[in-house]
Amino acid sequence: MSMPNLRVRLFGIACLVMAIALPFCVSTYYTQFLAKALIMGMLAMSLNLVVGHGGLVSLCHAAFFGLAGYVLALLSPRYDAASLLTTLPIAILCSGTAALLIGALVLRTRGVYFIMVTLAFGEMLFFFFHDTKFAGGSDGISVNIRPEIAIAGRQLLDLDKPMTFYFVVLGFLVGVIALLTMVVRSPFGRALAAARDNERRARSLGFPIFRLRLTAFTLSGALAGVAGYLAAAQFGFVAPQMLGWHQSATILVMVLIGGLRSVTGPLVGALVLIGMEEVLKAHLDNWKLVEGLIIIGIVILLPNGVRQIWSMVFGASPQRAAEIKPAAAEARHA
């Protein structure tokens, strides 16, 4: 194993140890805040499978996120806790099916047309929940009791406890990272990247471009459903705003801040953006203006995201260096 790869693995292990230890060192507020940040990081990583590894900018990703939250709210009994082991697979299935159906239509377009069509589908789902009485309309719907993890009527984990919920979220996050890493490094992931870099050449080599992208889009939507389910469980409330285009745009900013060509880059971007907002809100009245200027500065100075700092300090592995050069070229020509 090369030295850069060893450093990356050791750093990843150190981050996991810190994530496990943090809830024991901070207050309940920050435990809940960290859980929220990890959920949004999970959502950003799911989007990056389409944007960074597939080369397709989607603006309907929040629709899959919010849809899973509504599934939990609608399936939850009024005076009892829903079973996570039952409702989570249904929420993932609904989000994945929606992504499959939408992807089958939008993936027939390219470039700015793809962006606009995904935006249109996202807004259609937003207004479906906003302008109808279904699921509470514009007022949203509550999840009165968090789902529970139980087998044969016996509760295994109490998700009402902030620390327990945090570790459940962390467990799902580690699973998503492992799954995406496996997908990106598989022949499927390499074929998807080839289609991103040169679609014409990949097509001439016989790659099924449409099927590759549709599979990635569906998997991405399903993983967004995991994040949406956990977000609804944490906040106890689901509203149409979860499906809006502004939510999709925020997720895209997280991806750009963290880095497009990395599995965990969007997670870093989510932590940076949410942490920055928390600090700026506490100290400034016009914090949105300052936040926008900081984001512009990051995009200009670090075109490969904040993870580029690691490469600048410790040097990139040969594989990572090969990824950085095309990304930097794209940023210069954008």
pLDDT tens digits, 203-213 = 888 889 999 99
**pLDDT over threshold 50, residue 98:** yes
Between residues 260 and 107, which one has the greater pLDDT?
107
Mean pLDDT: which of 75-79, 225-229, 264-268 is highest?
A: 225-229
Domain of 32, in residue numbers: 27-247
Is residue 21 one of the residues assigned to a domain? Answer: no
52 lies in some domain: yes
Q: Are 180 and 263 in contact (CB under 8 A)?
A: yes
Distance in angstroms (rounded) separating the CA atoms of residues 225 and 236: 16
Total domains present in the chain: 1
| Nearest alpha carbon to residue 38 among 218, 269, 257 | 269
* pLDDT number for residue 327: 43
pLDDT, residue 45, reads 95
Residue 45 domain-assigned? yes
93 lies in a domain?
yes
Tell me: pLDDT of 126 over 60: yes
Buried b (16+ CB within 10 A) or exposed e, 61-81: bbbbbbbbbbbbbbbbeeeeb
Residue 308 lies in a domain: no
The overall average pLDDT reported for the chain is 86
Residue 176 confidence (pLDDT): 95
- Of the candidates 182, 176, 197, 223, which has an alpha carbon nearest to the alpha carbon of residue 52? 197
Residue 81 DSSP one-character state: P
pLDDT score recorded for residue 313? 64
What mean pLDDT comes out for the span 118-124?
A: 92
Judge whether 100 lies within some domain: yes
For residue 164, give the H/E element and its range.
Answer: helix 162-185
Whether the predicted pLDDT of 195 surpasses 60:
yes
Give the pLDDT of residue 42.
95
Most confident of 28-42, 141-155, 257-271, 283-297: 28-42
* Whole-number pLDDT of residue 91: 94
In a domain, 32, yes or no: yes
Share of the chain above pLDDT 70, in %: 90
Say whether pLDDT at 322 is over 80: no
pLDDT band at 2 (very low <50, low <70, confident <90, very high): low
Q: Is the pLDDT at 312 greater than 80, yes or no? A: no
Residue among 243, 232, 231, 224 at smallest CA distance from 96: 224
Give domain status of residue 301, yes or no: no
Query: Is the confidence at residue 84, as pLDDT, over 50?
Result: yes
Tell me whether residue 93 is exposed, middle or buried, using C-beta atoms within 10 angstroms of its C-beta: 0 to 12, 13 to 18, 19 or more: middle
pLDDT of 46 higher than 90 = yes
Lowest pLDDT segment from 36-50, 154-168, 216-230: 154-168
